[in-house]
Amino acid sequence: MVGLGTWLIPNDDAERVCTDALNLGYRHIDTAQIYQNEEGVGNALVSSSIAREDIFITTKMWPGMYGDETFQTFSGAIEACEQSLKLLQLNEIDLYLIHNPFATNSRVELWEAMVELKKQGKVKHIGVSNYNVKHIKEIEDAQLEMPVANQIEIHPYHMIPDALEVYMNNHNILPIAYSTLAPLPNWREGSRWNSKPEAMKNDPSIPFLEVAELSLIHI
């Protein structure tokens, strides 16, 4: 399934963009607490004539970032989900993810909150994002329910590491790709999020497919 990612879409534009996407045939919308546009996404869902069961909604809890004074807690994670439900105007989130693994000392605690949210019926499926083997193995070692998915950046210049791919396959964890077209646009240029290879950075006229084919040879 191809979904609409809403990163960098302002809340004031989210309703229009999501409405247009639904009308064009999109049935998966991805948002997040940190995007600050869940309200706009929710307004689009409410105003749509498409049945709720035909739309798959993913959102993500923000656990914190390196440099933050505090990281999310168990109770904070519960509250974050309840706030997302309110903004999205939903009774249940189809897929709820922990956005990153940076809450080093509370990763297991946050996952326990995710399991609790599923038990309460507030989310249908739970997963993670940007996790590597070490992070997911903490969940396994704690003998908790495993994630159904790991949302990670995937494109010809940012493939899944072999060890992570094997681990996820062995534990039936589905990969969800984001920024699959990241090498094509210019919006990441000048930032650490730029995924273009050096060849394309130095010569923008080089066709993407030509570079991709060369890259895939070495994968």
Percent over 70 (pLDDT), the chain: 81
Same-domain pairing of 140 and 159 = yes
Catalytic site includes residue 35: yes
pLDDT of residue 186: 54
| Lowest mean pLDDT, pick from 1-10, 14-23, 127-136, 181-190 | 181-190
> Of residues 35, 96, 131, 167, which has the active-site annotation?
35
For residue 2 the two structure tokens come to: 């191809």
* Residue 144 DSSP one-character state: P
Percent over 90 (pLDDT), the chain: 70
What's the pLDDT tens digit per position in 167-205?
A: 999 999 999 998 877 655 554 555 555 555 555 556 655
Same-domain pairing of 116 and 149 = yes
Mean predicted lDDT score pLDDT of the chain: 86
pLDDT of residue 214: 39
Same-domain pairing of 22 and 122 = yes
Same-domain pairing of 196 and 166 = no
pLDDT of residue 216: 36
pLDDT of residue 143: 98
Same-domain pairing of 129 and 165 = yes
What's the pLDDT tens digit per position in 72-89?
A: 899 999 999 999 999 999
Q: Is the pLDDT of residue 104 over 50?
A: yes
pLDDT of residue 204: 55
Q: Is the pLDDT of residue 106 over 70?
A: yes
Gap between the Cα atoms of 109 and 115, Å rounded? 10
Contact 29, 6 (CB under 8 A): yes
Same-domain pairing of 140 and 193 = no
Domain containing 134: what range? 4-180
Q: Is the pLDDT of residue 95 over 50?
A: yes
Residue 211 binned pLDDT confidence (cut-offs 50, 70, 90)? very low
Domain CATH number, residue 148 = 3.20.20.100
Same-domain pairing of 48 and 152 = yes
pLDDT of residue 187: 47
Same-domain pairing of 196 and 94 = no
Gap between the Cα atoms of 122 and 93, Å rounded? 6
pLDDT of residue 181: 74
Q: Tally the domains of the chain.
A: 2
Same-domain pairing of 138 and 203 = no
Contact 145, 169 (CB under 8 A): no
Same-domain pairing of 78 and 63 = yes
Same-domain pairing of 112 and 198 = no
Same-domain pairing of 110 and 127 = yes
What's the pLDDT tens digit per position in 26-69?
A: 999 999 999 999 999 999 999 999 999 999 999 999 998 766 66
Gap between the Cα atoms of 94 and 191, Å rounded? 32
